[in-house]
Amino acid sequence: MVTLAVGMLVITLQDPIIKSLMGDYPVTEAVLIRSLVAMPIFAVLIWRMGGVRVIRAGNTRQSIIRALLLMAAYTTYFLAFPAMPLADVVALYFTAPLFVVLLSRPYLGERQSLSRWAAVGVGFAGALIVAQPGRGGVGLAALLPISAAALYALAQLMARRYGGDTSATVMSFHQNTVYLVGAMLFSFMIMPFASAPGETGSLAFLTRAWVMPDATSLVLMAATGPIAVVGTILLTKAYREAPPGAIAPIEYLALLWAACWGFLFFDEVPSLATLVGAALIIGSGIFAITRGSAVARAIT
């Protein structure tokens, strides 16, 4: 499970970078630059695997659908950064294992035990504690990382269902290509509705007009390219090969990294509500993923 542990560390390095840029650049610009930088790296990896024919091998259609889900998931995830502390975003995002349970029945036809449904309920109670709706917490903004978690869970179920015929590198290549094309298309679509300069918040982060980045910002955005390549390949490989009982506990290392990055770079200290809610989400998520054969079959 070293692959998953390293993958979680690498992929979380994107978070403080994107959060630091959210006040000046739109999320689509950051995603496009990240994808452009990553593309030559993927091209070399694909060439070493056998060239263009490798891209066409496997279940390309499902791989592209999965990539679209992940693009929606990560964009929604990044949009939560202006609205709440980094640790809160990641804590709510880790309701994903609970969505694996919820989606396993309609998607794979798997029945779940009463205890597992109880674990899902406890986990979402933890999400409510983090969000604190109506009590000065993050409120409705919590729907952003929770929605991202649902999309991410479905995408990973697809990786386990259809990924046997497609390598982790090829799936990650499709993902990067969809990110690149999707960011460009979306930017053209929303150009007439661009936010006014100086506006802040999640909507502005999505619709802000593109500007030429300064040298420091460009280097930071470019750095997310190799981070994305290494991180997505490691995570895709882990999800395709790892037993579910080993996945959940290691995944939650991302909460530790998020708290560290939030404190080091943004002076964010997790609140008591975040710590309590995160503990409930972690405990219920580990229980839901590791207990019983039904969920094990759902993501195998």
In tens, the pLDDT along 87-146 reads 889 888 988 878 877 887 777 666 767 777 788 888 888 888 887 765 555 667 889 999
Note the pLDDT of residue 300: 37
Which DSSP letter does residue 291 get?
Answer: S
CA 71 to chain centre: 9
In tens, the pLDDT along 157-183 reads 887 776 667 777 888 888 899 999 999
In this predicted structure, the answer to whether residue 295 has a pLDDT above a threshold of 50 is: no
**For residue 299, what pLDDT band results from cuts at 50, 70 and 90?**
very low
**For residue 197, what pLDDT band results from cuts at 50, 70 and 90?**
low
The domain spans of the chain are: 2-298
Radius of gyration of the chain (CA): 19
Residue 186 tokens, joined: 């979306």
3-state secondary structure 27-42: HHHHHHHHHHHHHHHH
Spatial CA neighbour of 219 closest among 34, 4, 62: 34
Note the pLDDT of residue 138: 62
**For residue 297, what pLDDT band results from cuts at 50, 70 and 90?**
very low
Overall average pLDDT of the 203-211 stretch = 88
Overall average pLDDT of the 43-48 stretch = 89
